[in-house]
Amino acid sequence: MSGRDELLGLEEFQALVEEALAGFPEEFRKLAFDNLAIVVEDIASSADAAQAGVHDPMQLLGMYSGVPFTQWGRDRFAHAPDVIKIYRLPILSHVEPGGDIQERVRSVVLHELGHRAGLDEKRLHDLGTF
């Protein structure tokens, strides 16, 4: 763990995620955050990394698990909430010294919300949310 990781602990990082979420327009939040849990973890489990097709968990910044909007039906609330996991240590390691951690967090949150909207990696990359 680097000094940078110690300077921005889990609680402080969670506050950055909450700020990023609060920055979205209210109407968007009502739709996008409905039946959704957003969780901050230090790093992806090996099972989550494998599910995402990533060999090194430090390369996985976030992960969406659930049913994308494009597949919602009448029974969408019959299932457990969708989950977005945001991984603190990989995000911190991907921000250059002096870089904007808040912007990186916002970008990762937006990227994972894009998956919830049914967008694949290529489309998200084309949109600049990577």
Closest CA to 38 of 105, 80, 84, 79: 84
- Considering 4-18, 19-33, 38-52, 66-80, the range whose residues carry the highest mean pLDDT is 38-52
Mean pLDDT of 32-55: 91
Indicate which CATH number applies to the domain containing 70: 3.30.2010.20
Number of domains in the chain: 1
70-126: pLDDT as tens digits: 666 566 565 678 899 999 999 999 999 888 999 999 989 888 888 777 777 787 777
pLDDT score for 3? 45
14: buried, middle or exposed (CB in 10 Å: 19+, 13-18, 0-12)? middle
Query: What is the residue range of 108's domain?
Result: 3-127
- Cβ(104)–Cβ(122) below 8 Å: no
Mean pLDDT of 62-76: 73
